[in-house]
């Protein structure tokens, strides 16, 4: 049985509330990353904001993240973009009672300018992800969903855009 509570005006499950708190706390997220996402610590990625609908992440240009062209390495940008979509999937899955597996099956990216400072990625497609997960739960069939994360520099200029296709399916018992 799933119990919902009100968290900042929105109905969420206890699991979702816990994940949202972890993702919005710098120290708790670092501890979580140590065991689940160690590359986050190495690259210095941060979650600026996370809730059921939106996730904002950032990564900055630094020695470990650079490429020979004096900008942030594309794979690091991809990691920050993926994190902004993956966090939304984790929060949405936190509401489900049964186990659902998820993985990226496709990725498309476009790079618009060099990332030389902080790049902030924003994905606002949490509802789209939640809808796909609910369909998996109800229909017991695998489902894919494509979501976009846009990366902007401190001036608000578009640096990169990423589209990720997430696949969700019920775990076999």
Q: Which of 166, 56, 49, 168 is nearest to 120 (CA)?
A: 56
Q: Quick: pLDDT tens for 67-115.
A: 999 999 999 999 999 999 999 999 999 866 568 999 999 999 999 999 9
Low-confidence ranges of the chain (pLDDT < 70): 1-12, 95-98
Residue 2, pLDDT score: 47
Residue 127, pLDDT score: 96
CATH top-level class of 9-170: alpha beta
Q: Residue 91 in contact with residue 54, Cβ under 8 Å? A: no
| Distance (Å) of CA 48 to CA 4, 57, 58, 71, 95 | 25, 5, 7, 22, 22
Residue 36, pLDDT score: 92
What is the number of other CB atoms lying within 10 angstroms of the CB of residue 46?
18
Residue 11, pLDDT score: 55
């Amino acid at each position: 049985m799933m119990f919902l509570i009100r968290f900042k005006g929105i109905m969420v499950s206890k699991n979702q509330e816990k994940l949202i708190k972890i993702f919005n706390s710098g120290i708790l997220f670092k501890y979580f990353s140590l065991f689940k996402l160690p590359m986050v610590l190495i690259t210095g990625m941060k979650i600026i904001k996370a809730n059921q609908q939106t996730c904002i992440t950032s990564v900055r240009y630094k020695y470990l993240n650079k490429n020979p062209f004096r900008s942030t390495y594309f794979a690091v940008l991809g990691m920050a973009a993926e994190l902004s979509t993956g966090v939304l999937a984790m929060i949405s899955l936190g509401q489900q009672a049964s186990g659902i597996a998820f993985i990226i099956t496709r990725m498309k990216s476009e790079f618009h300018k060099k990332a030389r400072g902080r790049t902030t990625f924003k994905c606002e497609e949490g509802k789209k992800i939640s809808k796909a997960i609910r369909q998996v739960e109800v229909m017991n069939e695998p489902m894919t969903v494509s979501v976009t994360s846009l990366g902007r520099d401190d001036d608000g200029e578009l640096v990169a855009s990423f589209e990720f296709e997430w696949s969700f399916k019920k775990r076999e018992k």
